[in-house]
A = this chain, B = another copy of it.
Amino acid sequence: MSTLYKTASVASRALKSAGASASASRHLARATPVVSSKKLARRHASTIPPRSDRFARLTQTHVETLRSFLSSPSSLLSTLDGSATVDELASFNSDWLNKYHGKSQVVVKPRSTDEVSKVMKYCYENNIAIVPQGGNTGLVGGSNPVHDELIISLANLNSIRSFDPVSGILVSDAGVVLESADHYLADQGFIFPLDLGAKGSCHVGGVVATNAGGLRLLRYGSLHGSVLGLEVVLPDGTVWNGLSKLRKDNTGFDLKQLFIGSEGTIGIITAISILCPRRSQSTNVAVFSLPSYEAVLKVFGETKKHLGEILSAFEFFDKASYELVKHHQREHGVEVKKVFDNEGDFYVLVETSGSNSDHDEEKLSGLIEHLMEEELVMDGVLAQDATQTASLWALREGITEACSKTGVAYKYDLSTAPSVMYQLVEEMRDRLANEGLLKDDMSGEVKTVVGFGHMGDGNLHLNIVGKEYNEKVKQVIEPFVYEIVAARGGSISAEHGLGVMKAPYVSYSQSQTSIDMMRRIKQMFDPKGLLNPYKYILTPETHAKDGQ
C-alpha cells in the first residue's frame, strides 16, 4: 500500500495512513450460527436449572385477560390462542448467538408504562414468571426465558420523551434503539455517552438494565454516573417514577443505582433519563504495533499523559487476534492488505475526540513523535478520513466475527488491574498447550487463544477458539479461567453481566457477604421471585446452585 503522510510532523518514520483493509463491519450482524441450535442446546442442557413449580403455567384464560390490558391486538403474541406460531416466537425465545433457548408461549409488547404495570400486576397476583426483553443482544442468556416465562418485550415503548439542549439531559422510553437515540442526539450536537457493537439493535433501557460498558466508557464513564433517573415498574405492578432530570439530588438512597445492572430481576425499566455530553467536533484514530505487553502498559501511560482530556478509546489486541483476522480474511477470499511494515506481538488503537481538530491533531502528533523517539512502538498508522477510521476500527472490531466464524468461540469477558491483565491469556494458553489441546499451527482441538479488549477499562475479552464444541475443552477452561481471575481480584464478568451463563460462578467475584446482601435485595423487591428467574443472583425460591 502507498505510504501517505498526514503532516510532516505527524508521520515521522513509519507512520502511514490506513488503507481500507479489514473487512468486518463495526456493527454486529445477526450472524448465521456455525453450530446447529440443537447441538448448542444439548451442550447447555446440563447447566439449565429445572422449572420451578412455584410459577403458574400459562393458559388461554391468562392470555385472554392479559390481552384485555393492551390497547392493540398486535401487542400480544401467543401460541396458546393461535395468535402466533412457535416459529414466530422463536426469535424471542432464543438469544442472538442462538445459544440459549426458552419455550415461552406468550410475548407481550406493551405500548405504554401503564400497560406494563397492568400486565405485571396481573402476573404478580397469578404467580406468573416474567423475562423482560430489550433488543435481545446480550451474551449471557439474560433476556430469554429459561423455561416458559412470559416475555415482556419493551420494543413498543420507543419514543424520545424530551431533550433539553441547555443541560444535555435526554429522557427516553426504554425501547428506543441505542443507535436511534444517538442519531437523534447527533442532530442536536450531542452524543449518547455509551456505544457498543450491537447499537443497531440494543435498547437504551437494556443497556441500562445490564450496565453495558462498551466503547465510550473510558471517556464518559459508567452509566452509574451518567444515568440521572429511571422509571421502573416494580414486580407487583407499582410504577416507580424516579425519572429525575437533576444532576444533583441528595435526598436519600440513590435507588436508581440498584436497577442499573440488575438485569431485569427486581423491576422493569420503562424509561431512562441520561446526561449526554456535546458531540466532539473532531475524531482521530491511530493504530500501533508494539513488541510486548510491557510496552502496551507504557504506551497507555504516555497516551493518557499526552492526550489528557481528548483520549476517547485505548483498545488493545494481541498478535493471535490480528493473525486470526487475517486468517479469516484469507478463508473468505478477502484480500489481506498490509497495514504495518513492522508487525508486533501487540497492537493498540488510540482514538481522540475533541472540540478543536487542530489542537487534537497537535496533541496526537506530539504523542506519536514521543512514542517513536522513545521506540515504544514499532510502527504506526494514522487514519486520514472517515473510511480509514472505520477500517482501523475494523482491525479491532473484526476480531469477534473472526473468532465465531473460525470455529466455536468460548468467550470470557474479564477485568483485572491492567498490569496483570494479559497474564490471563498466557496462563490459559499454557494450560491448553500442556493438555495437548493447543498447537502452534492451529491444528489442535483448540485452534487459537486470543486476547483483546478495552485496555483503558482493564477489560479483557479472552476468546478460546475450538474446532467444535468439546466438553473436555470446556472442563479444561472452566472453572480454571474463573480461578485465575479470582486470584487477581478480578471480575468474571466485566460488562456482559451474569444472566444464566455466569449465575453459578458469582462467588468467584463476590464474597458471601455480598451475595447475602444481594439475595436480600432481590427478596425485598421481588418476594415471589417472579422476575427473570433462574438467573443472576440465585435465591432459594428458584434454586441455589453450587458456589452460591
Binding site for B on A (CB under 8 A): 164-167, 169, 189, 210-211, 213, 217, 221-222, 224-226, 234, 238-242, 244-255, 257-258, 260-262, 278, 280-281, 297, 300-301, 304-310, 353-356, 359, 362-363, 415-419, 454, 456-459, 489-498, 502, 506, 509-511, 513-515, 517-518, 520-522, 524, 536-537
Please name the residue on chain B nearest to A502 by beta carbon.
B251
B250 near A493 with CB under 8 A, answer yes
Bound-complex Cα distance A513 to B242 (A):
9
Q: A142 to nearest B CB, angstroms?
A: 10
Residue numbers in B under 8 Å from A456 (CB-CB): 247
Residue numbers in B under 8 Å from A537 (CB-CB): 252-253
Selected A-B contacts with CB under 8 Å, 29 pairs: A165-B301, A166-B418, A221-B221, A222-B247, A224-B257, A225-B226, A234-B513, A240-B513, A240-B514, A242-B514, A245-B417, A246-B416, A246-B489, A246-B494, A248-B454, A248-B458, A249-B415, A250-B494, A250-B496, A253-B258, A253-B517, A253-B521, A254-B257, A257-B260, A278-B305, A305-B355, A306-B355, A309-B353, A309-B355
Which 7 residue pairs spanning A and B have beta carbons closest together? Answer: A225-B225, A308-B355, A257-B257, A249-B491, A248-B494, A359-B359, A309-B309
Please name the residue on chain B nearest to A210 by beta carbon.
B250
Bound-complex Cα distance A310 to B246 (A):
22
Bound-complex Cα distance A361 to B240 (A):
46
Residue numbers in B under 8 Å from A510 (CB-CB): 251-252
Number of copies of this chain that the complex holds: 2
Q: A217 to nearest B CB, angstroms?
A: 7
Please name the residue on chain B nearest to A304 by beta carbon.
B278
Residue numbers in B under 8 Å from A217 (CB-CB): 247-248
Residue numbers in B under 8 Å from A355 (CB-CB): 305-310, 363
B253 near A262 with CB under 8 A, answer yes
- A249-B493, A251-B506, A257-B258 known, 6 other contacts, Cβ within 8 Å: A246-B417, A247-B458, A252-B514, A253-B517, A356-B359, A359-B363
Residue numbers in B under 8 Å from A257 (CB-CB): 224, 254, 257-258, 260
Bound-complex Cα distance A356 to B454 (A):
26
Q: A196 to nearest B CB, angstroms?
A: 13
Residue numbers in B under 8 Å from A249 (CB-CB): 415, 491, 493-494, 509
Contacts A225-B222, A457-B247, A524-B521 known; A211 to B354 CB distance under 8 Å? no
Contacts A248-B415, A359-B359 known; A524 to B520 CB distance under 8 Å? yes
Residue numbers in B under 8 Å from A300 (CB-CB): 166
Bound-complex Cα distance A491 to B247 (A):
10
Q: A362 to nearest B CB, angstroms?
A: 7
Contacts A253-B521, A308-B278 known; A513 to B241 CB distance under 8 Å? yes
Say which residue of B165, B254, B255, B416 sits within 8 Å of A211 (CB atoms): B254
Residue numbers in B under 8 Å from A495 (CB-CB): 248, 250
